Chains A and B, each alone.
Chain A
């Protein structure tokens, strides 16, 4: 890789104050109008964190309500709004944009050795579109809320007397934010790689973001069209989904899942990318099966367009459709399994540092194993006919969305936190919080697998009393999980004010993001980097940088 350039030798360093992207200018407009990918990444980080905490608050209300079979807190209609808000906030405002928007923006240009993304103004526009979408979603709550579930299934979403058009507009705008970020990353990866960085010298986080971007650009327009059609149906009665006007509600399901299944991979591929980086750095070992992991990201991106029908096995689609969708669903399990095995093989015989990013990574590997394997159970056609729309499905996708994607996000956040801010959080607290989150998460969702397999339907404000013990466990687990997250947010924020200085290369990474001063200067690299060695070649690691404090 490039030779590390110590800050002392930087030619354009003047004065005693070492300038980096955080302190080279200050004031509101220096952030609000910034074109710097790193500052935009941090604005995203603040935004998606607020969205995550709001969504988490709704989740806790859901769990508290379900303490009693007849419902403990709300009227049924209010409960329906709250679970909808939980789903919509988490999916559209957190899980989809979180990793590409914050960590992707922050790290991708650094990793490919570029000064910035290819289209910095578009990048800022993506952020403001996200912000507009988030504000509109909040406005929709003020305007009476929405109770359709995050899936907006017709015809209920057409008949219900709530702010569906407003939230639809929010989703439409958020979709454009996602598309533009994807476009930006694609161009950046194609055009701005440093000299010597061939495609197969790109870090796997870059590969993952690249595959994600392809999906964002190709699939998201379908979601935009679908919510637009729902809005037209509500406003003008065009009769495409409304059966009273000759429309077909199942068509809505097809449109919706044609986007939303690839969207599952829009959410999870960046998480895979983070984990690929972290298992390598914290095991100090080149990734096992680098090319296979890179290609499996692309394979997943392609196959994910062809499996949407597995969300609709109970909708009465033809036998041939069921055959094809079930077959392809099982097929997508293979590249996913290859990734998991490759990560485990990377850790095997590594030099494993049990620091907090690695603990989050190990938690991911365990939870994702469960999330992925239970997906295989759901792929089996006749079993799915029993489990569809039960808590088994709820538990499965929380193992993927919360347990895997959010944990990978936390892992990446802990990994790049010292790079972003030049400070370290309290490692002991971080390890404790990781343990609390892991335990709380499993207590929350293992009971949901059990009650789901026994027939507890999802989206129920009340339930038959037999399921009460499982709901009690789940609610207790959610409180533990919530306190773990609160602790995490607490020590991370505290580190910004009272954190110890991080090291230049806190974890011993050898990708380009660790070859530049910490925190990075405005233009990322004082001298344009050249790549001369293979990716993840730890023989090039300059051990001195592990002990040099950040600027």
Chain B
């Protein structure tokens, strides 16, 4: 009944082996577990059962008392004035104590399993910044933004980095959550057991678009994983890749509709001239403290991506921009193609 919560109805075209429909407990509360952490669900349902037992006990006694011992005349005294029953008090102290100690030991054991990644787990990196995720793959220069691909059955350990504030890496279906803390090395691991698509949320409040800080996680077969589906760069359509990079890296400070954010809008970087050809627009920039007007061209844009302090847009000269000196050339080109495409709208 909850299968729709974790299944995307339309998997992307290049995934050849879409997940089979999943059976979920009709009465269950948790989403379908898709990692090896069975203990979480086992303990959850155990404590849930214990809670229901005590809740029924308490409300049962209350309901019975209210019906049977209800005051019928204003002066009616209590049916009993007993204030102690030592055996009863010992029982209701000791039995809950035993139960919670079982829960404690069970939970601690489960948490230890979730702390220690097995040897040979694949090492990924997840970088969190307001408000998106960037993923790096083992021995692979190509990163993915807002989407992640994992191989089913292979333990994955994530190095977590934050470039600004607190975030948290949370995958409900895998039962893992770990805070991403600037300046601290955090890691989290899990072993996906089912092919499918899953949510990755940011679970620690991180500002305006906290709720939009989302990534889709594809767990795919070994065969599909070997095709490196995260490398979606299409040389025939670089603007598409550029737009993806824009959304992942640039959109928190630069709009495309003309409204100023922390940085200048990209609207008007390129404009259409009288004949409909796309040409560079005019910008006022500070170069070494001197204000001058330049015509936007590729050299200026490449410089501004790799070394943003060289020329600062007027009105934004006091705001520091993150530099991207290591962004691969094809991605820089893709972003510029995307900027040109904006002029067509």
Contact = CB atoms under 8 A, between A and B. Distances in A.
Contacts of B76: 284, 351
Interface string A281-296: 0011111111010000
A323 interface: yes
Interface stretch (A94-102, A166-174, A334-342): A334-342
Contact of B78 (A316, A338, A350, A374): A350
Size category of the binding interface on chain B: 35 or more
Nearest to B76: A351
Interface string A264-292: 00000000000000000001111111101
B206 to A, nearest CB: 6
A383 B43 contact: yes
B44 A314 contact: no
Interface stretch (A122-130, A364-372, A424-432, A513-521): A364-372
A459 interface: yes
A92 B260 CA distance: 36
A330 interface: yes
Given A289-B84, A362-B66, A380-B104, A455 B51 contact: no
A250 interface: yes
A289 B172 contact: no
Contacts of A80: 205, 207-208, 210
Contacts of A348: 61, 65, 69, 80
Given A159-B164, A450-B29, A382 B184 contact: no
A453 B29 contact: yes
Interface in A151-166: 153, 155-156, 159-160
A149 to B, nearest CB: 5
Contacts of A464: 199, 214
A190 interface: no
Contacts of A284: 71, 76-78
A382 B100 contact: no
B23 interface: no
Interface in A318-373: 319, 322-323, 326-327, 330-331, 333-334, 337-338, 340-341, 344-345, 347-354, 362, 365-366, 369-370, 373
B104 A330 contact: yes
A385 B44 contact: no
A314 B177 contact: yes
Interface stretch (A198-206, A386-394, A414-422, A493-501): A386-394
A385 B177 contact: yes
Contacts of B176: 385-386
Contact of A155 (B40, B85, B103, B166): B166
A221 interface: no
Interface stretch (B52-60, B146-154, B298-306): B52-60
A349 B67 CA distance: 11
A33 interface: no
A388 B188 CA distance: 15
A374 B206 contact: no
A386 B176 CA distance: 6
Q: Looking at A156, A244, A385, A538, which has the most chain B CB atoms within 10 Å of its CB? A: A385
B236 to A, nearest CB: 32
A6 interface: no
A460 interface: yes
Nearest to B202: A457
Contacts of A249: 165-166, 181-183
B201 interface: yes
Nearest to B97: A334
Contact of A377 (B44, B79, B108): B44
Interface in A285-317: 285-290, 292, 313-316
Interface stretch (B109-117, B250-258, B274-282): B109-117
A369 B78 contact: no
Given A284-B71, A453-B30, A538 B58 contact: no
A383 B107 contact: yes
Contacts of B84: 288-289
A183 interface: no
A354 B72 CA distance: 10
Nearest to B53: A373
B58 A344 contact: yes
Given A289-B83, A338-B93, A538-B78, A373 B54 contact: yes
B16 interface: no
A240 interface: no
B107 A538 contact: no
A543 interface: yes
A250 B181 contact: yes
A509 interface: no
A454 B203 contact: no
B78 A459 contact: no
Contact of B111 (A160, A349, A353, A382): A382
B230 interface: no
Interface in B140-171: 164-166, 168, 170
A462 interface: yes
A149 B204 CA distance: 11
A7 interface: no
A338 B55 contact: no
Interface string A76-96: 110010000000000000000
B272 interface: no
Q: Which of B81, B108, B114, B205 has the most CB of A within 10 A?
A: B205
B104 A352 contact: no
26 contacts: A153-B204, A156-B205, A156-B207, A249-B166, A289-B89, A322-B108, A326-B108, A334-B93, A334-B96, A338-B92, A341-B92, A345-B88, A348-B65, A349-B65, A349-B80, A351-B77, A351-B78, A354-B66, A366-B59, A377-B48, A381-B110, A384-B107, A450-B29, A455-B172, A461-B210, A546-B75
Given A285-B81, A376-B47, A379-B104, 19 more contacts: A76-B210, A76-B211, A80-B210, A156-B207, A248-B183, A349-B78, A354-B66, A354-B71, A365-B58, A366-B59, A380-B106, A385-B176, A385-B177, A390-B203, A453-B29, A457-B202, A459-B205, A461-B210, A461-B211
Interface of B: 2, 4-5, 29-31, 37, 39-40, 43-44, 47-48, 50-51, 54-55, 58-59, 61-62, 65-66, 69-71, 74-85, 88-89, 92-93, 96-97, 100-101, 103-104, 106-108, 110-115, 164-166, 168, 170, 172-173, 175-179, 181-184, 186, 199, 201-212, 214
Question: Closest 4 CB pairs between A and B?
Answer: A455-B172, A382-B110, A380-B107, A243-B183
